[in-house]
Chains A and B, each alone.
Chain A
Amino acid sequence: MNRIPSYILRFVLLVLLQIFIFNNIQFSNFINAYFYVIFILLLPFDIPRTAMLLAAFFMGLTIDLFSNTLGMHAAATTCMAFVRPVVLKWISPREDYEIDSLPTLQYYGLRWFVGYTLVMVFVHHFVLFFIEMFRWSDFFHTFFRAILSTLFTSLLIVLSQFFFFRK
């Protein structure tokens, strides 16, 4: 229970990081970094699923409020939170997740973490970019954009694991 304030703090920090730094990083309007999704990635295993959905929704909504894209990030983060239990089950290590552990690089290693990040971030970016375009024409263009941005965001997230989120 005493973990909740630290998550709230992380929430605020990530929102600030996103709107002041990462929203301003754009490579030719094609690749965008949405680093804030790490918040949903690092939520504890035992968080109630509905709480996770709500947390993700409000994370997305907050980003939306500050980047003038009301609803888009909320839809994407909610989707991401919705698939998280499935993805976690899908890539779970042989002897399941340990109690008291967190879904981080430090606990489950680089390979596991990179796979987890790529899948989850891709879900988020895919939904986000298609809602942004709001049509199915130019499918491959949007798809390609989602993949490139997924790689970029994932790279940032994995790197951040080495620098900031130490055990």
Chain B
Amino acid sequence: MRNILQFLIKYQFLLLFLLLETIAISLVIRYNYYHQLSYLNFAQKWHASVSLKKERIKQYLKLKTVNERLVAENESLRNELAFYKKAFNKQSEQRNIDSTNLRFLVAKVINSSVHLPYNYLTLDKGTEEGVQPNMAVICDQGIVGVVIAVSKHFSVVMPVLNKKFRVSAKFKKNNYFGSFEWSGNNYRIGVLNDIPLHVPVAKGDTIITSGYSNIFPEGIMIGVVEDFSVSMGTFYSINVRLTTDFKNLYYVYLITDNSLNERTTLENSVTNE
């Protein structure tokens, strides 16, 4: 109490000044029509802008939940789409491996690297959720990689950005296929090899998975042709710009192909003979 009094006495000049100014300004606003109007106008605007900002911040904070909900919805939509494709194909008596029996499972990337020669991703889903080794991993932008190890709640993916990664890829326009791998230094560029010289190649051509591997279904987006050169005289070496941005990867889809088991068993039985 004494301190408050001392404070009041010490700053009486300033405090009295502030008090009188407050009285004066409130009189101005209270009793002058023009000032009252501008004050109300200002206060209203200020209030509106503050509530707008508040709303934006709230939205931003909600973004995570919204995102998760959207991804979950995407997952179910993809599954539904696969189901209808299957039904459609059955109807038209054209069984097609790429769209039948596919199941999608959404997962979140919780660890990744892009700058090493052998990069890996870690996902937050494991055997508990039905993840198995050799499942294909894609995202909304295109190809991601292959599951190589699974634990109860996590799985490790070998992405395209790994020197050991190979996938069979083809031109969307004419189905010529080759072997696709990472360039090894730029995380946006991969290399498509084994395309014979008579194939017409142009910048901007779309490269997709061929479906010849046991892992990826046909038609997954890989990238577009950036430039190309002739290597060793007989084949093109084509630089492909990946559509997947591995530095900006949050949600991925794991693909289960129910027909895969049958197919591998059959294929293995032939090679074993």
Asked if A135 lies at the interface with its beta carbon under 8 angstroms from chain B, I say yes
Given the complex of chains A and B, what is the CA–CA distance between A49 and B25 in angstroms?
Answer: 21
Contact of A135 among B17, B20, B38 (CB under 8 A): B38
Contact B32 A78 (CB under 8 A): no
Q: Which residue of B lies closest to A73 (CB)?
A: B24
Contact of B12 among A50, A70, A81, A135 (CB under 8 A): A50
What are the interface flags for B8-44 relative to A under an 8 Å C-beta threshold, 1 for contact and 0 otherwise? 0000110011001101111111111011001100000
Which residues of A sit under 8 angstroms from B23, Cβ to Cβ?
57, 71, 74
Given A50-B13, A50-B16, A53-B16, do A78 and B34 touch, yes or no (CB 8 Å)? no
Contact A70 B17 (CB under 8 A): no
Most B Cβ at <10 Å: residue of A49, A60, A71, A74: A71
Contact of B16 among A54, A61, A71, A75 (CB under 8 A): A54
How far, in Å, is B1 (CB) from chain A's closest CB? 22
Contact of A78 among B17, B26, B30, B38 (CB under 8 A): B17
Contact A70 B38 (CB under 8 A): no
**Would you call the interface of chain B mostly helix, strand, loop, or mixed?**
helix
Given the complex of chains A and B, what is the CA–CA distance between A130 and B35 in angstroms?
Answer: 11
Contact A131 B28 (CB under 8 A): yes
Q: How large is the interface on A (under 10, 10 to 19, 20 to 34, 35 or more residues)?
A: 20 to 34
What are the interface flags for A29-47 relative to B under an 8 Å C-beta threshold, 1 for contact and 0 otherwise? 0000000000000000000
Which residues of B sit under 8 angstroms from A69, Cβ to Cβ?
32
Q: Which residue of B lies closest to A51 (CB)?
A: B16
Which residues of B sit under 8 angstroms from A64, Cβ to Cβ?
27
Q: Which residue of A lies closest to B39 (CB)?
A: A134
Given A78-B24, A79-B21, A135-B38, do A71 and B32 touch, yes or no (CB 8 Å)? yes
Given the complex of chains A and B, what is the CA–CA distance between A79 and B35 in angstroms?
Answer: 19
How far, in Å, is B32 (CB) from chain A's closest CB? 6
Contact A53 B24 (CB under 8 A): no
Which residues of A sit under 8 angstroms from B29, Cβ to Cβ?
71
Contact of B27 among A54, A70, A135 (CB under 8 A): A70
Which residues of A sit under 8 angstroms from B21, Cβ to Cβ?
75, 78-79
Contact A74 B13 (CB under 8 A): no
- Taking Cβ atoms with an 8 Å cutoff, the residues of A that contact B are 49-50, 53-54, 57, 60-61, 64, 69-72, 74-75, 78-79, 81-82, 131, 134-135
